[in-house]
Amino acid sequence: MRERVGAYVALTKPRIIELLLVTTVPTMILAQGGLPGIGLILATLVGGTLAAASANVYNCYLDRDIDEVMNRTKRRPLVTGEVTPRAALVFATVLGVVSLVWFALLVNVVSAWLTFAAIAIYVVGYTMILKRRTPQNIVWGGIAGCMPVLIGWSAVTGSLSWAALALFLVIFFWTPPHYWPLSMKFKRDYANAGVPMLPVVADDRRVAREMIVYGVAMVASSLALWPLAGMTWVYGVVATVLGVWFLSSCVTMLRRARDKADGKGGKVGEMKVFHASITYLTLLFVAVAVDVFLPL
């Protein structure tokens, strides 16, 4: 029973869900201008977890053929046979329906509709349409990963705002420089599976250049939040320092990619940038939450 439950949990990709939830609570704090009710926070987190789990299980179901040929994913339960495709499909559907009903009854209808949009964008937009067809798959498919901030904001206010849009754009522009380094490490896997991630179809220098472009837009969005949400100078300083730090890691990666292309170096350090992106987003949203409580 423990192994069976573990297999179903693995299908939900819990590590990805953790990252999504990191952005939700600070957003709710900012929308409230303080700490929202614990009941509302828990209801939003539970609903968000169920929704993200549903989308991830659908993804595993639809991608089980390519997961089988990728070293990174060949041990997923649908590939090993621990869970049947039919059982996974039923599991994903139940999770999705429960999440929507949960939001509609315990949070609000706006959040429920945004949750439905998030699941649809990830499952249909990214997994079914974009992933196997275009190198820009993660750019537009990444919209699904931006939805938790809109859901968190609407859970508190029942509506959206320009500040919520700024948070949305931070994650939208963050997603490519976060995911492309991981794609660089596993680009042989993606190539074997026929998935045209940008690092598969472009050299490391182009990938690094595009990461810098998206990184600059990400930092600009984080700074736009400063006046839009009426935040203090502390947030502005933290957002600026974090942005410069992350952009410097992307520039270093570009320099190493050029050296490698010229035969002067070896690794480009893509995983350092990947881990730096997680640190950046986590600390930025911690700053969002803390800034609300500063007596400045």
pLDDT digits (tens, 9 = 90+) for 129-140: 999 999 999 999
Select from 119, 122, 140, 265 the least CA-distant residue to 198: 140
**Distance (Å, rounded) from C-alpha 114 to C-alpha 103?**
10
Q: Say yes or no: 72 and 37 in one domain.
A: yes
In our burial notation (b when 16+ CB lie closer than 10 A, e otherwise), range 263-294 reads eeeeebbbeebbebbeebbebbbebbeebbee
Q: Which residue, of 109, 136, 158, is where some domain finishes?
A: 158
pLDDT beyond 90 at 47: yes
Show the tokens assigned to 67: 């997961």
142 and 171 inside one domain: no
Containing domain of residue 215, as a range?
161-295
Based on the domain organization, do 192 and 280 belong to the same domain?
Answer: yes
Beta-carbon contacts of residue 177 (< 8 Å; ≥ 6 apart): 211, 212, 214, 215, 218, 246, 250, 273, 277
Give the C-alpha separation, 143 to 117, whole Å. 10
CB 36 within 8 A of CB 156: yes
Write down the mean pLDDT value for the chain. Answer: 94
The candidate with the shortest Cα–Cα distance to 125, out of 142, 112, 111, is: 142
Same structural domain, 188 and 141: no
Same domain, 69 and 106: yes
Q: What is the mean pLDDT of residues 234-245?
A: 98
Per residue in 188-229, pLDDT (tens digit) is 999 999 999 999 999 999 999 999 999 999 999 999 999 999
Same domain, 137 and 174: no
Mean pLDDT of 236-252: 97
Number of domains present in the structure of the chain: 2
Q: Are 149 and 206 members of one domain?
A: no
Annotate 105-124 with b (16+ C-beta within 10 A) or e (fewer): ebbbebbbebbbbbbebbbe
Domain final residue, candidates 141, 158, 175: 158
> Kind and range of the H or E element at 124?
none
Name the nearest CA neighbour of 111 among 40, 60, 166, 182: 40
Quote the percentage of the chain above a pLDDT of 70.
Answer: 99
pLDDT band (50, 70, 90) for residue 291: very high
> Could you tell me the pTM of the whole model?
0.93
* Domain identity same for 188 and 249: yes
How many alpha carbons fall within 13 Å on the CB side of residue 163? 20
- Other C-beta atoms closer than 10 Å to the C-beta of 179 total 22
Grade residue 165 by pLDDT with cuts at 50, 70 and 90. very high
3-state secondary structure of 172: helix
Residues 6+ apart with CB under 8 A from 94: none
| pLDDT tens for each residue of 4-35 | 899 999 999 888 777 777 899 999 999 999 99
pLDDT at 181: 94
pLDDT at residue number 19? 77
Confidence at residue 150, expressed as pLDDT on a 0 to 100 scale: 97
Average pLDDT estimate for 96-100? 98
| pLDDT for the residue numbered 295 | 81
Predicted local distance difference test score (pLDDT) of residue 204 = 92
Do 144 and 121 form a contact (C-beta atoms < 8 A)?
A: yes
